[in-house]
Amino acid sequence: MFTSRFARSTLLIAMFAVGVFLAGCLPSTPNGPTAEFRADVTSGPAPLTVQFTDLSTPGDSPITQWAWLFGDGGTSDAQNPEPTTYAAAGKYNVSLAVTTANGTDTELKLNFISATGEGEGEGEGEGEGEGEGEGEIMLPGNVPLEMVWCPAGTFTMGSPDTEQDRLSDEGPQHEVTLTHGFWMGKYELTKRQWTAVMGTTPWWGQFSVLNDPDSPAVYISWNDCQEFVTALNALGQRTFRLPTEAEWEYACRAGTTTRFYWGDDPSYSEIGNYAWYKGNSDDTTHPVGGKLPNAWGLYDMKGNVWEWCQDWYGSYAAGAVSDPQGASSGTYRMLRGFYVYNPSSFCRSAFRVPLQFTDFYPDYCTDTAGVRLVRTP
């Protein structure tokens, strides 16, 4: 009996030693970085100067790149950037992406900086709940509609001739100034929200429709959207409308000038973290908010479904413009965004459907066209 026990003990010890040896020989999975940062102040009267400090951990290899988005259009590639001054009152989302040989990680803090004062952003916050539900409106049946504040500003619309995968309809690049801030839907309008206001389900029984109330409302034409806006405004809560094409691209870019709102991504290695597209969607729409947002906290600005804009389809202006409304007349209405059947190159911030490929009449509806609302102050 003693010999048997001794033999079993010796065998177990030997097996444990072999296991430890083999475990030490197996390659370990590299650890990527973890992005984190802090600010010396997060609130105060505008102009508010903030010093941001990187607190990221590198994992198994050193951090080689930092990419800051300060929410006011400012960016930096320094580890610890120069102080940022927020000149206008409002709430600002801040993000930091860090990259090592083992990958990239992004930390996004929504409404992280609050600059107060008598400016437009503060007026919105006091009067309409900015920062508390991000401008949340309750639709009939206690269905929430969340909005994100987009401050007034200037940006470059369209793409440069040198941009990878550029199409001619994306130019000429021109400076656009939006003199008033606006609220924009945090998500694409959902089936639940449409039904709460209209009491209808235009997608019912149609081809290729996801049966999920929190997926985008589809099979809604531009004309249908105007009826929705009329019904919504009749509730007397706020004034809603469709975004202009310029407002849409401004909100999509969220202060960035790169091909995508998450960077240039030349090899399309990051797109799957931010958008539902041909490469990851299984050719079907998905519930809203399933991917990472842009720097202003807007989800699905690229991918999932096209989004109707207020404008007629038309060519861009050749020079700088303020508050453009698009062509004064036309045949087709503008859709921006891109949808789940499209390839990755269509996901660029400047992408427009080339005119020769569009048939977006005001009464056109499909399983890939939805809408995102704007609310004016």
- pLDDT band at residue 22 using 50, 70 and 90 as cut-offs: very low
Any residues with CB less than 8 A from the CB of 361 and at least 6 apart, and which?
331, 332, 333
Taking 80 as the threshold, does the pLDDT of residue 7 lie above it? no
| Separation of alpha carbons 156 and 246, rounded Å | 10
Cα 354–chain centre separation = 23
Give the C-alpha separation, 17 to 25, whole Å. 13
pTM greater than the 0.85 cutoff: no
Q: Are residues 251 and 296 in contact, defined by beta-carbon separation less than 8 angstroms? A: yes
The confidence score (pLDDT) of residue 281 equals 85
Q: Residue 122's pLDDT is what? A: 36
| Percent above pLDDT 90 for the chain | 59
Residues of the chain with CATH 3.90.1580.10: 137-376
Number of Cβ within 10 Å of residue 13's Cβ equals: 10
Q: If you average pLDDT over residues 232-256, what whole number do you get?
A: 95
Distance CA 4, CA 115 (A): 77
State the pLDDT at residue 8.
43
pLDDT of 32 strictly over 70: yes
Over residues 189-203, mean pLDDT: 96
Task: Say which CATH superfamily domain 37-115 falls into.
Answer: Immunoglobulins (2.60.40.10)
CATH ID of 137-376, from 3.20.20.370, 3.40.50.720, 3.40.50.20, 3.90.1580.10: 3.90.1580.10
Please say whether the beta carbons of 185 and 370 come within 8 A.
Answer: no
Binned at pLDDT 50, 70 and 90, residue 307 comes out as: very high
Phi, psi of 299 (to 5 degrees): -100, 150
pLDDT tens digit string along 86-119? 888 777 878 888 899 988 888 878 778 888 874 4
pLDDT of residue 343: 80
